[in-house]
Structure 1
Amino acid sequence: MQAPWGIVDAERSWYVSAEEPEEAEAEELSPLLSNELYRQESPGVSFGFSVFNLMNAIMGSGILGLAYVMAHTGILGFSFLLLIVALLASYSVHLLLSMCIQTGDGCRYHPNSEYWRSWYLDGQTLLIIICVGIVFPLALLPKIGFLGYTSSLSFFFMVFFALVIVIKKWSIPCPLPLIYAEQYFQISNATDDCKPKLFHFSKESVYAIPTMAFSFLCHTSILPIYCELQSPSKKRMQNATHTAIALSFLIYFISALFGYLTFYDKVASELLQGYSIYLPRDVVILTVKLCILFAVLLTVPLIHFPARKALMMMFFSNFPFSWIRHSLITLALNIIIVLLALYVPDIRNIFGVVGSSTSACLIFVFPGLFYLKLSREDFLSWKKLGAFVLLIFGILVGNFSLALIIFNWINK
C-alpha cells in the first residue's frame, strides 16, 4: 500500500515509492530509497565527504574553549562530561533520522532554496576581507555537497592544530614565566601550579556543558547532508555521524588535554591567547592561527544552508527560487556573523549563552520533544524513554547553566 508521504520532486527528477513507515524503518531505508527506487540528477556525495562535512559542522571555534573547560573540571571530570555530551549528540541524531523515516519529510528539500598597524595585519580588516572573498562565495553555493572539499581541508587544519598543541606543550615551561604574564594571568611560581587535577570544580565550571554542547552541534546540517548522501539510508547516515563524532571527540580531547597540561589553571578562555603571550613570534604558532582561522571560517558556509533554508521556508515558501533573494539572505547572515565576531569581547560568553540556550535546544530538547510528539511507538518503548530523558536533561542543564552564567555576570 502506498503511503501518503511518498515524494515526487519534478525539479530534481526523483521519484520515491514509499512504504509504510514501520516497514521502511525496519529495513532502515531512507524515504528516498524505499524499494530501492531512486533517481537523481547527480550521483550524490560520497560517504567520506559526508563525514568531512559533518566534522566541519561539528568542529569550529568550540575547540578553542575546551582546554579552559578542562582546567575548571579536571581531566577525569572533563573526559566524563565530554563523552556524555558526545553520546547524547549521537543519540539525538539517531532520533532525528528515525523521525525522517517515520514522517518522510527528511529530504523534502531543494538545495537551491537555500604590534603593527598595516591594514593587512589588522585582525578586523582581515576578517572582513576573508568573509567577503571566501565565506560569502562559498555560502552562495547551491548544494551542500560542494563543500566536501573545503570541509576535508578544514579537518586537516584541525588535526594540525591538535598536533601543534601537543608539540608546543614542551616549549612553554612550568611554572609559567612572569614575563608578559600580567597582561592576561595572575602568575605564581609555585610548583603546585604544574600538577594536573583529575577533578576540579569552580564557578567557571558552569561553562563546561554549554561549551561542549556548542562544540558538538551539527544537527542543523544533518538533513541537508543526508539528502545529498550517495545511496542515502538511515544506517549509512548514522555510520557517517558516528564516525564524525568519534573523530571530533578524539581531536577535541587531545587538544584540550595538552592545552591544559601547558597552562594548567592559567589557561585562557580562548586557548591561543596563551601562545600569543609566551610564543609571540613562533612561526608554527602563527601558522596554526592562520589554519584555525580558515578552519572556523570554512564552517560558516556549512551553517548557512540550514539557516537560509529556515528563513526561506518561513517567509518565502510560496515563492519560486530567486538568486537575488538567495544572495540577499546569504549576505544578511554574513553581516550578522561578522558583527558578532567583531564586537563580542570574550568568546567564552558565546560558548556559555549559545551553548546553554540554542545548542541545548537543538541537541537535547528538540530531538527528544519532536520524537515524543511524532513517533507512534508505545511511550514505554526504549526510544521514547530515551527521548524523554534527552528532553528533561536538555531543559534542566540548559536552564540551570544559563541562570548561573547570568548570575556570574551580575556579580562581576
Structure 2
Amino acid sequence: MDPMELSNVNIEPDDESSGGESTQDSYTGMGSSEKAAISSQFANEDAESQKFLTNGFFGEKKLADYDDEHHPGTTSFGMSSFNLSNAIMGSGILGLSYAMANTGIILFIIMLLAVAILSLYSVHLLLKTSKEGGSLIYEKLGEKAFGWPGKIGAFISITMQNIGAMSSYLFIIKYELPEVIRAFMGLEENTGEWYLNGNYLVILVSVGIILPLSLLKNLGYLGYTSGFSLTCMVFFVSVIRSSVTTLLFPKRPFSWIRHFLIAAMIIILNNVLVILVPTIKYIFGFIGSSAATMLIFILPAAFYLRLVKKESLRSPQKVGALIFLVIGIIFMIGSMALIILDWIYDPPNSKHH
C-alpha cells in the first residue's frame, strides 16, 4: 500500500489513551431506532426476553432501559436452594420409599439413575429452549410454541403438580398428627375427640398456619423456617397462586383482596381433595403419570422441537428430543392405564395410607 492510500485511512483514537467515549457508551447512547436487533426470532416479544438474551457487546444497558423489564426476587441463592431442596425432599421421600418397597433395592437403584439422567436431559432441553424462545417462564414458552393451548397446557400441568405436592403434606397431617397428639396425651386409643380427627386438624392447620404464610409477598422470609417440612407447602401454594394471577389477571395491578381470595380458594380445594381421597398413593400415582410426565418429558421436548429453528429435524439434537417426546407419551399412557386398572381391581382402602 503506497503513502497516498495510507493517508486516506481514518484511524480512530484509542479509547483508553484519549479518554474518549467507549464503544459500549456509544451503543447505550444511541436511540432505540439505531440499536442493533438481537438475533432471535422472538426478540420483540417481551422485555424479559431482551434481558435474558443479551450478552457480550449488547450485555449492558442504561438503567432506564430496565424500567419495564421483569425483575426477579431479592431472595439469596442460598435461601432459594435450601427452600427448593427442602420442598423436593419432603413428600418425595415417601414416594421413593414406596417405590423401593415395590421394586426391590437393585431395580430401584437402576430406575432412580435412569430417572435422574432423563431429568438432566429435560433440563438441558429447557435451557436451550429458553435461550431460543427468549423467556424464562414455562407458560410463556408454551404460548410462544403453541399459542394459547400451549400456555394453558403448561399452566394446568404446573398447577396439578403443585396441588399433588400440597396434598401429600396435608395427608401427612391428616394421618400422623392425630397419632402425635394421642401419644403426647398418653391415650391408648382414639377417643373420638375433634382434635384427634384428621379432617378437622387439616382444616385447622390450613387456616391457622398455611394460609397466613401463603399471603406473604416475599417468600424469602420463609427460608428461615424451611426446617419444618410443613412450610414447604406454602411455596407450592404461592406458585399456583402466582400462575393463576398471571393467567387470569396478566396486566392488572397487585390487589390484596385478589391475592387473598386466590390463596384461600387453592387451600380450600386442596383440603376437599385430601378429605375425600382416602389414600396418598393415588394422589402420587395420578399426578406423577399426568402432570409430572408432561413437565419432565412431553412439554420440554415439544417446546424444543417447536422453538429451536436453527437445527434441522434430522439433526441428532432434534432426533433425541423426538425420541424423548415419544418416551414421555408412552410413560403417560402406560402409567395411567396401570393406575386405572389398579382402581378397578384394588379399590381404595383408607388403612393403606
- When normalised by structure 1's length, the TM-score is 0.54
Report the alpha carbon displacement of residue 97 of structure 1 after superposing the two structures with TM: 2.8
Alpha-carbon shift at residue 307 of structure 1 (Å): 1.7
Determine which of 71, 83, 91 is the counterpart of 1:61: 91
Distance 2:72 2:293 in 1: 35
Q: Which amino acid aligns with 2:320?
A: G
User: Which residue number in structure 2 is paired with residue 373 of structure 1?
Assistant: 306
Cα distance in 2 for partners of 1:60, 1:73 equals 21
Quote the residue 2:166 is aligned against: none
Residue in structure 2 matched with residue 392 of structure 1 by the alignment: 326
Which residue does the alignment assign to 2:206?
131
CA–CA distance in 2 between the matches of 1:362 and 1:368? 10
Match of 1:313 in 2: 246
For residue 134 of structure 1, report the CA deviation from its aligned partner: 1.8
Separation of aligned partners in 2, 1:336 and 1:117: 26
1:309, CA displacement in angstroms?
2.6
Distance 2:251 2:297 in 1: 31
Aligned to 1:71: 101
Could you list the runs of 4 or more consecutive aligned residues of structure 1 that deviate by over 6 angstroms after TM superposition? 36-43
Contact (CA 8 Å) 1:92, 1:363: kept in 2 or not?
yes
2:341 equivalent in structure 1:
407
Q: Over the residues paired in the alignment, what is the CA RMSD in angstroms?
A: 3.1
- The 8 Å contact of residues 62 and 351 in structure 1, kept in 2 or not, is answered as no
Cα distance in 1 for partners of 2:73, 2:338 equals 49
Could you say if the C-alpha distance between residues 107 and 125 of structure 1 is closer, same or farther in structure 2, counting changes exceeding 3 Å? same
| SS state at 2:135 partner | coil
Q: Number of paired residues? A: 250
CA change 1:349–1:343 in 2 (3 A) is same
Question: Which runs of 5 or more structure 1 residues have no equivalent in the other structure?
Answer: 10-14, 28-32, 110-114, 155-294
Paired AA for residue 374 in structure 1: L
- Residue deviations 1:273-305, cap 9 Å, x none? xxxxxxxxxxxxxxxxxxxxxx1x322221123
Distance in 2, Cα, partners of 1:339 & 1:383: 44
In 1, distance between residues paired with 2:321 and 2:218? Answer: 31
CA contact (8 A) 1:16 1:34 kept: no
**Residues 355 and 107 from structure 1, CA distance in 2 versus in 1: closer, same or farther, beyond 3 angstroms?**
closer
Note the C-alpha offset of 1:384.
Answer: 3.0
After the TM superposition, which residues 279-294 of structure 1 pair with which residues of structure 2 at under 5 Å, given as runs? Answer: none
The 5-angstrom pairing of residues 11-410 of structure 1 reads 19=53, 24=55, 34-35=59-60, 44-106=74-136, 115-151=190-226, 153-154=227-228, 295=229, 297-378=230-311, 379-410=313-344
> What is the DSSP-based 3-state SS (H/G/I as helix, E as strand, rest coil) of the residue aligned with 1:142?
coil
Deviations 1:137-196 (A, max 9, x none): 222122343333333x14xxxxxxxxxxxxxxxxxxxxxxxxxxxxxxxxxxxxxxxxxx
**Structure 1 stretch 323-332 or stretch 36-45: which is displaced more?**
36-45
Following TM superposition, by how much is the alpha carbon of 1:107 offset from its aligned partner in structure 2, in angstroms?
5.8
User: Which AA in structure 2 matches 1:328?
Assistant: L
Cα deviation, residue 62, structure 1: 3.2
Cα distance, 1:321–1:338 mapped onto 2, change above 3 Å: same
Between the aligned partners of 2:138 and 2:122, the Cα distance in structure 1 is 20
Q: Following the alignment from structure 1 to structure 2, what is the Cα–Cα distance between the partners of residues 74 and 18?
A: 45
Tell me by how many angstroms 1:365 deviates.
0.9
Counterpart of 2:278 in 1: which secondary structure? coil
Q: TM-score, normalized by length of structure 2?
A: 0.62
Which protein shows a greater Rg?
A: 2
Q: Is the contact between residue 7 and residue 16 of structure 1 (CA under 8 Å) also seen in structure 2?
A: yes
Counterpart amino acid of residue 405 in structure 1: I
* Cα-to-partner distance string for 1:60-84 (whole Å, 9 max, x where unaligned): 3232232232122111111111121
CA distance in 2, matches of 1:67, 1:322: 42
Name the residue aligned to 2:351. Answer: none
Question: Counterpart amino acid of 2:106?
Answer: L
| 1:188 corresponds to | none
Structure 1 pair 149/89, CA: closer, same or farther in 2 (3 Å)? farther
Distance 1:381 1:323, change over 3 A: farther
2:52/2:135 contact within 8 Å kept:
no
